[in-house]
Amino acid sequence: MISRKYSCIAVALLLLFSASPLFAQRKITIKLASLVPENTPWGAAINRMAAEWDKATNGEVEVIVYHNGAAGDEPEVLRKLRLNQLQAAVFTSLGLNSIMPEVMALSYPFLIRDNAELDAVMSKIKPELDNKIQQNGFVTLSWARAGWIRIFSKTPVFVPNDLRKIKMGTASDDLQMLQAFRAMGYQMVPINLPEIMVFLNGGMIDSIYLSPIFAAGNQVFGVAKNMTGINVSPFMGGILMNNTAWRRIPDKYKPQLIAINNRLEREIETSISNLEAEAISTMVKYGLTINQPDARQLQEWYDDTAKYENSLVISGNIFNREYYQKINTILTEYRRGR
């Protein structure tokens, strides 16, 4: 009888303490910053990530998303990540460059030519990039492609010398690409992206390299009515988390969380590709002309850029030499096997 009495007390105490704050489920809050508007494929995917992480961890990991640059620009977001005021963020290649400069080798002009070549490169070097990023304090949750950079101009551009004759705008914080194009003899003008139309309308620039999605959204094609039909470079992005926050997440959840993000990565790439195609189609409908170089003219772009390899990689050290050579080797082997 006494034994039964104490057993009942023990059960009651267990239930009491289980319901108390000391035994309550520990919630981990991840604050994620994004410059991307919420009503885009990226924004929608990040919201899905937050919901699916919550479900996969039974509510133990809560992701709060700050869309539309609410947490600051990329340098500010990176500073907050390092202080753990934020735990995760979406970065463009410019932000990734601040964490791991080697990643900018992917943006070497006219090196990677299409999606198939980008697939070949990323399948080989992504593990190395992830390891390097982790050594610098972060975990790569997702890589994502945000389309391709193209040249928009007031006058048709088919070959490099067409572009050298006119002034080309570049984002003032995109220093490596600014240096690269200057080293190749182009007339570069650094600008603040919100002022693109002011510079184009005022004649301070005659061309600019941009994502077609950005060009469509900001009506750039209304003045720069020509788009050159050659990819300058892939526009890369990624979602990173600082190592401090990643260590707080129980190991039992991590494989499933990474699986969620791998799937979202593929969904983002498909959505962005479709959105880019739609943006180009819409711009053409409203007056954009695509100046498609023929095979000889395309080769002229590739040969012209190759002449400046020493200035861009070796003596100039604008792009990381080791990773440029790795990418170039992968592409050479891939093209040989086509």
**Residues paired with residue 31 on neighbouring β-strands, in sequence order:** 64
Give the burial class of 202: count Cβ atoms within 10 A of its Cβ; 0-12 exposed, 13-18 middle, 19 or more buried: exposed
Hey, is 154 helix, strand or coil?
A: coil
CB 104, CB 320: distance < 8 Å: yes
Residue 25, pLDDT score:
54
Q: What is the pLDDT of residue 314?
A: 78
Instruction: Give the span between the Cα atoms of 12 and 18, in whole angstroms.
Output: 10
Amino acid sitting at position 62 = E
Phi first, then psi: what are they for 208, rounded to 5°? -160, 150
Q: State residue 267's pLDDT score.
A: 87
pLDDT at 137: 93
Instruction: Please name each of the domains of the chain with its CATH number.
Output: 2-337 (3.40.190.170)
The tokens 């198939």 sit on which residue? Answer: 116
Along the chain (338 residues), what's the average pLDDT of each consecutive run of 10 residues?
43 39 67 88 89 96 94 92 95 86 91 94 92 93 89 97 96 87 95 91 95 91 96 92 96 95 89 91 96 96 93 82 93 90
**Which residues, other chains included, contact 130 with Cβ-Cβ below 8 Å and sequence gap of 6+?**
140
How far is Cα 276 from Cα 291, in angstroms, rounded to an integer?
17
